[in-house]
Structure 1
Amino acid sequence: MSNQRSAIVIGGGIIGLCSAYYLVQSGWKVTIIDKGNLADNCSSGNAGMIVPSHFIPLAAPGMVAKGIRWMFNSKSPFYVKPSFDPKLISWGLQFIKHANDAQVNKVAPALRDLHLLSKQLYTELAANPELNFGFEDKGILMLYKTEKAGVEEIHVAQKAQQLGLDVEVLNHEQVQRLEPHTHLNVKGAVHYRCDAHIYPNALVKQLTAYLKAQGVDIKTNCTVNSFGTNGGQIQSIETSSGTFNADLTIMTGGAWLPELAQKAGMKIPVMPGKGYSFMVDNTANKIIHPSLLLEARVAITPMNGQVRIGGTMEIGAINSKINMNRVQGIVNAVPNYYPEHQVKLPEVNDVWYGFRPCSPDGLPYIGFSQKWSNLIVAGGHGMMGLGLGPATGKLVAELADSSSLSTDIKDYNPNRFN
């Protein structure tokens, strides 16, 4: 099989792993190169939510005003670190330009379709006997305490119903019936029954093992230094572990995507959005459904016999500092909604953090580069990387094969900010 087509996937996060998975299924010989060791990519600590409910991008009306208001509160859920960094300023101006109703309404159907495709693919992956990553299809509860948050969320729920999603608005008693083991201090909730959740750590480990068993070569601690190009194509990738060649290159790279793109002479704006999470026991007053605490913007997910609690979106340069004030903000939110869960502030070493790759318009980048005809870009998924991993991976393989696409990707053009 010497004429087997070869692909190099740069980045071993969930998007890279899913791209490799579907490329292998389609008969490609795949090599993954990652600058880390794959153990601690952004998806390992995330809330594990598969979210057709997230058809509104981060760049949404009201986010700019909230962001400005929250900038002065060190425990707030969304924070843009003030800086004169030209990258941040340019990103911020694009964000403001896209945060309007017309844009959100235009992209909502496409985002819904991308999420629904991913949910369907997760259902198929969960049926693979070699993968067991705690897939549970019981929806997500959007819990609210105030009239104002309730009105806003019910408005979103009506939009979701118009888009054909399975959604139900619940009063306090109805929500409480869904959580019989623990008391809820909320006005009501919206139950997105179309959503699901998984245990991401298991998925990342098992996908990696599965790919290795399928003959995928995974090079860890391997940094891309430069690209050798010729005739409008990428001919070679120069790395800290030598030179790699392939017929096709897939550039993922998460929050590091802009630097990678720059090495290939392209401009793909992404700002890292730092988030934190930690695990607590789920034995007493057991929580059954994953939830988003709306006013606090905190995610609660039962997984692997415990509960993962996560939150905050801190836009700024990549750094390894854990801001315990932000973690305290997450901790304080939980008993306001679940009074029997008096969560303790975790030790610094028990706090996980990762960088979500946020595009300025809140939409991912999926498609061929217009500069290099054998380069596919797949990244910038923000908080939805895990949820959209399989859909993106499947689309990458379809693009690679020049076959018809499972869903329309015109809104995700990676060249849109050039």
Structure 2
Amino acid sequence: MGSNRDVIIIGGGVIGLACAHYLIDSGVGVRVLDRGKVGEGSSHGNCGLLYFSDVMPLCSPGVVTKELSRTLKGVSPLYIKPELDIAKYLWLLKFAMKCNSSHRNQAAKDKYEFLMYSMELFKSLFASSSLPCDFENIGVLTVFKEEKNFKASAGTQEFLASFGLQGEKITKERLVEMEPALLDDLAGAWLNKADWHLRPELLMKAWHKLLEDKGVIFHEDCAVLDLSIKNSSIDQVHTSQESFQATDVILAAGAWTPKITEKLGLNLPVLPGKGYSITMGRPEICPTYSCVLYEKNMVMTPWKSAYRLGGTMEFSGYSSSLDRKRIDKLISGARTYLKHPTGQPLIEEWTSLRPMTYDDMPVIDRAGHLKNLIIATGHGMLGLTLAPGTGKMVCDMVLGHPAEIDINPYSLKRFK
């Protein structure tokens, strides 16, 4: 590959492309292997939020009680497939144990630093590269149907204020004027101008092309079958196409990462969390802002080129099947907030797997027993948002440069 350092990246999602970007710009030879098509995993059909205000981890106080209550009422976005899977239930137990104020406070501090780091890198990326992707930085609305929830959300905003991320309170009267696409009977909203949105599949297509032009080599439909170890390092990566060698290997295969680490005797507590979306043409009255629809735990994103509803969290293993009921729930959920919840034509119904850790923090670290392996996964629902920060962090690891932010929160050691 024509460089003193050559890197193989396993995974052509947004994390893999971000790693490739900073490495190729540093003069490192880069080869990306993807089991399918580049950018066709969870990077493809998510709602495209760059959610820099999302410092609060999923495992926060009250989450377990709230979701149990909503499950009993049949309105929870969470679905856990009942099956004999001890690893899954241990993961869920550890998640529940993390739902405390101590973890929330520390995780929020760590996430804040990472999110702000990634934001600055996104600014530099968009300033220096042509990446047409329907990008807008007008902010994101979190919209409430019920008055009690809107009032209670003031506590969350106080927490965000400690990081300088408090949203602007939007009364129901002002909301009607500000976003005419929303129904008139909503309780109110918060507008957070720290948050942006883009169309992720357009970003992935443009970034893929940019990296190819810079010299990154891509292999699609190239499944990793095995890895050979020599002198405490990965010597060869054996795939469905051929075997490859490199000085460093980066494992950024999203939810599929544990399937590869188990070949190396490394138990990685990353669970696949299935999300759904439906993409359509813009409705008759199309919103201006991306909206988090609070009670339904879903997102609506309008772009110049399309319109998408997305959300849900389903723990059902590695199944790629699309459950029609989950798509229908997205549409019915949107009806409780929007005058015109759907548009024409139907462009895509989609599902994919997010890589979830039980503490809602990514894994970005060297595998201790293998000197040349770096793991970058577990970003949950923030893979797109944290991609540049992760890519730069991994690049610095490869080059032996000091990290620009604290990387200890993302260490594998925390799972021991």
TM-score normalized with structure 2 length? 0.94
Question: After superposition, where does 1:14-413 map in structure 2 within 5 Å?
Answer: 14-71=14-71, 76-165=76-165, 167-180=167-180, 183-338=183-338, 340-343=339-342, 350-413=348-411
Give the secondary structure class of the aligned counterpart of 1:177. Answer: helix
Letter paired with 1:379: T
Give the secondary structure class of the aligned counterpart of 1:68. Answer: helix
Pair 1:69–1:182, CA change in 2 (3 A):
closer
Mapped contact 2:30–2:216 kept (Cα < 8 A) = yes
Letter paired with 1:34: D
User: How far apart, in 1, do the equivalents of 2:127 and 2:180 lie?
Assistant: 29
Pair 1:281–1:345, CA change in 2 (3 A):
closer
Give the secondary structure class of the aligned counterpart of 1:333. Answer: helix
Letter paired with 1:373: K
Pair 1:232–1:192, CA change in 2 (3 A):
same
Residue-by-residue CA offset, 1:332-354 (whole Å, 9 max, x unaligned): 1112112x21438997x831111
1:306 Cα deviation after fit: 2.2
User: How far apart, in 2, do the equivalents of 1:244 and 1:73 lie?
Assistant: 52
User: How far apart, in 1, do the equivalents of 2:165 and 2:287 lie?
Assistant: 24
Residue-by-residue CA offset, 1:283-325 (whole Å, 9 max, x unaligned): 5222001010001011011124321111111112011222122
Give the secondary structure class of the aligned counterpart of 1:358. Answer: strand
TM-score normalized with structure 1 length? 0.94
Residue-by-residue CA offset, 1:79-110 (whole Å, 9 max, x unaligned): 22222202201211211121111101011011
Mapped contact 1:281–1:307 kept (Cα < 8 A) = yes
Pair 1:35–1:73, CA change in 2 (3 A):
farther
Letter paired with 1:248: D
Letter paired with 2:14: I
Give the secondary structure class of the aligned counterpart of 2:121. Answer: helix
User: How far apart, in 1, do the equivalents of 2:181 and 2:148 lie?
Assistant: 27
Higher mean alpha-carbon deviation, 126-135 vs 81-90, is at 126-135
Higher mean alpha-carbon deviation, 145-154 vs 238-247, is at 145-154
1:369 Cα deviation after fit: 1.4
Pair 1:84–1:151, CA change in 2 (3 A):
farther
User: How far apart, in 2, do the equivalents of 1:359 and 1:150 lie?
Assistant: 29
Give the secondary structure class of the aligned counterpart of 1:127. Answer: helix
Mapped contact 1:6–1:248 kept (Cα < 8 A) = yes
Give the secondary structure class of the aligned counterpart of 1:295. Answer: helix
Give the secondary structure class of the aligned counterpart of 1:176. Answer: helix
Give the secondary structure class of the aligned counterpart of 1:322. Answer: coil
Residue-by-residue CA offset, 1:115-166 (whole Å, 9 max, x unaligned): 1222222222222343222221111111012133213322111111111225
- Give the structure 2 partner of residue 417 of structure 1: 415
Identity of aligned residues (%): 32
Letter paired with 1:27: G
Mapped contact 1:75–1:329 kept (Cα < 8 A) = no
User: How far apart, in 2, do the equivalents of 1:394 and 1:208 lie?
Assistant: 17
Q: Which runs of 5+ in 2 are unaligned?
A: none
User: How far apart, in 2, do the equivalents of 1:202 and 1:305 lie?
Assistant: 10
Mapped contact 2:283–2:344 kept (Cα < 8 A) = no
User: How far apart, in 2, do the equivalents of 1:148 and 1:249 lie?
Assistant: 50
1:68 Cα deviation after fit: 3.0
Number of residue pairs matched?
416
Give the secondary structure class of the aligned counterpart of 1:268. Answer: coil
Mapped contact 2:12–2:33 kept (Cα < 8 A) = yes
Give the secondary structure class of the aligned counterpart of 1:158. Answer: helix
Letter paired with 2:271: M
Letter paired with 1:200: P
Letter paired with 1:341: H
Mapped contact 1:88–1:316 kept (Cα < 8 A) = no
Q: Which runs of 5+ in 1 are unaligned?
A: none
Give the secondary structure class of the aligned counterpart of 2:236. Answer: strand
User: How far apart, in 2, do the equivalents of 1:354 and 1:184 lie?
Assistant: 34
Mapped contact 1:70–1:79 kept (Cα < 8 A) = no
Letter paired with 2:340: H
